[in-house]
Amino acid sequence: MLTLHDHGAGSIARILPERGFNCFRFETIVDGQCVDVLDVEPDFVTGTARPSSSGIPILFPFPNRIRAGQFRWAGRDHSLPLPEGKPNAIHGFVLDRPWRVFEQSDQHACAEFHLSRDAADRCDLWPADFRITVRYALAGATLRCDIHIANPDTRPLPWGFGTHPYFRVPLSSTSRLGDCLVQAPAAEVWELEDFLPTGRRLPVTGGRDLRDGQALADLKLDDVLTGVTARDGQVRTIVMDPQAGLQVLQVFDASFREIVAYTPPHGRSVCLEPYTCVTDAVNLAPRGIDTGWRVLAPGEEVHLWFAIHVGRVIV
Q: Within a domain: residue 187? A: no
Q: Within a domain: residue 274? A: yes
pLDDT in tens, the chain (315 residues): 999 999 999 999 999 999 999 999 999 999 999 999 999 999 999 888 899 999 999 999 999 999 999 999 999 999 999 999 999 999 999 999 999 999 999 999 999 999 999 999 999 999 999 999 999 999 999 999 999 999 999 999 999 999 999 999 999 999 999 999 999 999 999 999 999 999 999 999 999 999 999 999 989 999 999 999 999 999 999 999 999 999 999 999 999 999 999 999 999 999 999 999 999 999 999 999 999 999 999 999 999 999 999 999 976
pLDDT of residue 218: 86
Q: What is the rounded CA–CA span in Å between residue 176 and residue 196?
A: 32
Q: Within a domain: residue 195? A: no
Q: Within a domain: residue 185? A: no
Q: Are 167 and 38 in contact (CB under 8 A)?
A: yes
Q: Within a domain: residue 194? A: no
Q: Within a domain: residue 255? A: no
pLDDT of residue 47: 86
pLDDT of residue 140: 96
Task: Report the run of H or E that residue 118 belongs to, with start and end.
Answer: helix 115-118
Length in residues, the chain: 315
Q: Within a domain: residue 209? A: no
Q: Are 148 and 303 in contact (CB under 8 A)?
A: yes
Q: Within a domain: residue 226? A: no
Nearest alpha carbon to residue 169 among 241, 220, 236: 241
- State the residue range of the domain holding 300: 2-174+262-307
Structurally, the chain folds into a number of domains equal to 1
CA 70 to chain centre: 23
CATH of the domain at 80: 2.70.98.10
pLDDT of residue 315: 66
